[in-house]
Amino acid sequence: MATSKNDWKTAWITGASSGIGLELARLLDGKVDHVALSARSQDKLDTLAGQCKTVVSYPLDVTDADAVAASVGDIEVAAGPIDLAVLNAGAWQLMDIADLDLSAIRAGIEVNYMGVVHAIDALLPGMLARGAGHIAIVASVAGYRGLPRSVAYGPTKAALINLAETLRTELEPRGITISLVNPGFVDTPMTQDNPFPMPGIISAREAAQNLLAGLKRGKYEIIFPRAFVMAMKALRLLPNAAFFWVARTFLLKKPS
């Protein structure tokens, strides 16, 4: 197992204005010299920065490649090389296949997948030149198998899981650590309107604690809550016929 040097001086978190990213920022504050936060909501980032010691906000939209590159440049001028990047910005939309909405699907790809690619594009030249760095990609258990009503979300997370494998294989020998974060249900603004049961749901604070513990150990796949994610992993091992039966029987039914 590759180990992270775990001596990060500058960390960058995207999607840090709420939920998991916000709690991770709080955990890193004061323990890392510079914690740069990005999301679109400048007001929320500034409020958080005002409550912290080593946090600075760099508002941006991850779908804007130029803005992402500019912020990475600004962070590195102000705080030195980014040692740890947690690419966590994401958007979720429940969608019945009968209500297929192309623009929402495209938006999901732009935020969840291209947002991560934009950040990697901006980070890689510096990390490759230094032969060092740690990039964590926040995907989801929704990327393990195709789940009902997840057409605008699950495929983007499956793409990230695949991307992380490619990056890990190519970049590990060049000194760059890649982590893949696959959360189960976490109590954040993203999940607050979900109209279905969310087994094993944990708080954003607990999620961030698990995430940070995994990063410190240089783990490849970081999962939480463990029991639920292991159950979702088991779905990957089922033969297709068995998986489709489980999905139709237990996951397709709409809550009354």
Ligand X SMILES: NC(=O)c1ccc[n+]([C@@H]2O[C@H](COP(=O)([O-])OP(=O)(O)OC[C@H]3O[C@@H](n4cnc5c(N)ncnc54)[C@H](OP(=O)(O)O)[C@@H]3O)[C@@H](O)[C@H]2O)c1
Q: What gap in Å lies between CA 83 and CA 155, rounded to an integer?
A: 29
What is the total count of residues that contact ligand X (CB under 6 A)?
29
Give the strands of the sheet with 55-57, arranged side by side.
55-57, 34-38, 10-14, 84-87, 133-138, 176-183, 221-224
Q: Counting contacts by CB under 6 A, is residue 154 touching ligand X? A: no
Query: Cα separations (Å) of 58 from 29, 39, 125, 213?
Result: 15, 8, 20, 25
17 binds ligand X (CB under 6 A): yes
Q: How far is the CB of 147 from ligand X (least distance, A)?
A: 12
Q: Which of 11, 49, 136, 138 binds ligand X (CB under 6 A)?
A: 138
Q: Which is nearer to ligand X, 8 or 224 (CB)?
A: 224
Q: Which of 27, 52, 70, 191 binds ligand X (CB under 6 A)?
A: 191
CB closer to ligand X out of 196 and 245? 196
Residue 224 backbone zone (phi > 0: left; psi -120 to 50: alpha; other: beta) = beta
Contact 178, 166 (CB under 8 A): no
**Do 33 and 11 form a contact (C-beta atoms < 8 A)?**
no
Contact flag: residue 180 with ligand X (CB under 6 A): no
Q: Which residue among 119, 167, 190, 229 contacts ligand X (CB under 6 A)?
A: 190
Tokens 């890193």: give the residue: 28
Q: Please report how close the Cβ of residue 151 comes to ligand X at its closest, in angstroms.
A: 15
Q: Which two tokens stand for residue 121?
A: 């594009």
State which residue, 8 or 92, has the beta carbon closest to ligand X: 92
According to the binding rule CB under 6 A, does residue 35 interact with ligand X?
A: no
Candidate ranges 129-137, 178-186, 214-222, 237-245; the one touching ligand X (CB under 6 A): 178-186
Residue closer to ligand X, measured from CB, 12 or 92: 92
d(C-alpha 16, C-alpha 221), whole Å? 21
- What residues make contact with ligand X under the rule CB under 6 A? 14-21, 39-41, 61-63, 88-92, 111, 138, 140, 183, 185-186, 188-191
